[in-house]
Chains A and B, each alone.
Chain A
């Protein structure tokens, strides 16, 4: 399908005026929502402009990627849990309470892209209409081919929101059957939302849940078997305490808050628990370490994507070339041995290919 005449990525008209990245960053620092939104778009698209946004954001935030000072940085809270657990409803109600407390929260809500068409239906805002009206900044994000419950651009987008003076920044992950661990390396605090009626799911994902959770919300506590879920969870946490299965650094058992997102029950308590967690991280001297770790894992996901994209392309070529024409026979007949032989070829081709990619992005 022809899609001619799209905006050039270098020109950034906002309200009829074309603004540079530097101008947008300055406007975003002043709290202008439209500039924040446009910077989010640039970061999401990737490439040279996204790099410029990242560099200017770091310096505007008065630091370097790995600095541990938490001056102008926001509290980044990841919210994960199974599909339909009530994450969006919960986040919306909770953020409204934070606005009432004088905070300026923002939400990044991630939903999956279709692997077939690249399209996506981003539905989290449906539950967040009241939060929008209360002034919460909400941005929907499609995963755009990234696995792990987040999108590649999320950490960069968090930075733009920090620049815009938003605090906290909440990241709602894709509703996943398995609790995805990506969020653990993208946030200061991870909230896992569980609900009654999925006792088995909780049971099955026990290890994953316990590894990522700093806090739990037992949502839909208006349901009859909510007490059971809470008890199961407490039991699991007690056991994990014995085996030391919690996230390193904070020795406390994750707190559990019972909530009814639709009516607001427990949301104030949840807000308190989350703030307490940040204070504890800070007091234990590990907030900076977590943030440094966040930067490293951001580098890592970009590296993964770069390698995956180029190898995918090249592997297709190798399979079509060497393998189908029989050239690969010299590596033997064991599939694994042939693969190792091809991997060496791949490595050579990758170097060339990546040179090209890096040039293109300049």
Chain B
């Protein structure tokens, strides 16, 4: 990774995209979240890392105070169908127009439900750094 801040939208010409990264609930798989944090940093973004055992409330507090552009959640414990839509709904209820991106173990058949619920992007195992960055950039742009 040897892109200059300009190329990756760093601090010089564009303000960096700010992403809040978290795991919701009791899911202890945080390896992927750490990998994604580095991928996004190397993509020129500012990653507010919350780590394990967050709730929709702690995430909303962070999004508000950090003025984040995107929320990234990693879910490997099969909780995405409940927690994904709940996160999107909680942000909307709080009046925060901030897209949610989900990564982890999400079977294909669950995708339509997540898209319906307003999740902005879903990535799974083996997603490359470029895919991860592109997914978050697209989500940030979707805010208009």
Q: Which residues of A contact B (CB under 8 A)?
A: 1, 3-7, 9, 13, 15-16, 33-34, 37-38, 40-41, 44-45, 113-114, 116-123, 125-126, 129, 132-133, 137-140, 142, 144-145
Contact = CB atoms under 8 A, between A and B. Distances in A.
Nearest to A141: B46
B66 interface: yes
A118 B44 contact: yes
Interface centre among A120, A126, A132 (most CB of B within 10 A): A120
Contacts of B47: 119-122
Interface stretch (B57-65, B78-86, B99-107, B116-124): B57-65
Contacts of A15: 95-97
Contact of B46 (A33, A37, A119, A132): A119
A7 B38 CA distance: 25
B29 interface: no
Given A1-B8, A119-B47, 13 more contacts: A3-B9, A6-B14, A16-B97, A37-B64, A41-B67, A117-B10, A118-B12, A122-B48, A125-B62, A129-B50, A132-B61, A133-B57, A133-B58
27 contacts: A1-B133, A7-B144, A9-B15, A15-B96, A33-B65, A37-B66, A37-B67, A41-B67, A45-B15, A113-B11, A116-B1, A116-B3, A117-B8, A117-B41, A117-B44, A118-B10, A118-B16, A119-B41, A119-B42, A119-B43, A119-B44, A120-B46, A125-B49, A125-B50, A133-B58, A140-B48, A145-B11
A4 B141 contact: yes
Interface centre among A16, A40, A113 (most CB of B within 10 A): A113
B65 A118 contact: no
Contacts of A34: 64
Contacts of A123: 49
A116 B2 contact: yes
Given A16-B97, A33-B64, A45-B15, A114 B49 contact: no
B11 A38 contact: no
A145 B5 CA distance: 10
Interface string B68-85: 000000000000000000
Interface residues of B, number: 47
Given A33-B65, A129-B58, A117 B49 contact: no
Contacts, number: 124
B132 to A, nearest CB: 12
A298 to B, nearest CB: 19
B37 interface: yes
Contact of A132 (B7, B11, B15, B62): B62
B137 interface: yes
B45 interface: yes
Nearest to A109: B48
Nearest to B130: A1
Contact of B8 (A44, A118, A129, A142): A118
Nearest to A140: B48
Contacts of A6: 14, 140-141
Contact of A119 (B10, B50, B134): B10
A201 B82 CA distance: 49
A165 B96 CA distance: 23
Interface in B17-67: 17, 37-38, 40-51, 54, 57-58, 61-62, 64-67
A360 to B, nearest CB: 12
A4 B134 CA distance: 12
B43 A117 contact: yes
B66 A140 contact: yes
